[in-house]
């Protein structure tokens, strides 16, 4: 998962969509580290949290093979 914490505006929509996948820091901004691998079976939940982010701070990209 790509996380651009610099453009996160702290809306918390991702967290409301899935609190465990999208933790927030004390300031209400995303605490998901850039490069986090979405656990198997949670792809849909991750996509939902990504889709509701008004700042478009979150994205998924396919895993690269052989790295």
Binding residues (CB under 6 A) for ligand SF4: these are 8-14, 29-30, 53, 55, 57-58
Residue 1 in contact with residue 32, Cβ under 8 Å? Answer: yes
Toward ligand SF4, which CB reaches closer, 12 or 47?
Answer: 12
Toward ligand SF4, which CB reaches closer, 11 or 36?
Answer: 11
C-alpha 33: how far from chain center: 8
Toward ligand SF4, which CB reaches closer, 20 or 67?
Answer: 20
Residue 16 in contact with residue 66, Cβ under 8 Å? Answer: no
**Nearest distance from C-beta of residue 61 to ligand SF4, angstroms:** 16
Q: What is the DSSP code (8-state) at residue 24? A: B
């Amino acid at each position: 998962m790509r996380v651009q914490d610099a453009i996160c505006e702290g809306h918390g929509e991702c967290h409301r969509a899935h609190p465990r996948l999208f933790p927030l820091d004390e300031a209400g901004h995303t605490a998901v580290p850039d490069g986090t691998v979405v656990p198997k079976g949670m792809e849909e939940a991750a996509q939902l949290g990504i889709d509701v982010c008004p700042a478009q701070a979150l994205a998924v990209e396919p895993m690269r093979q052989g790295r």
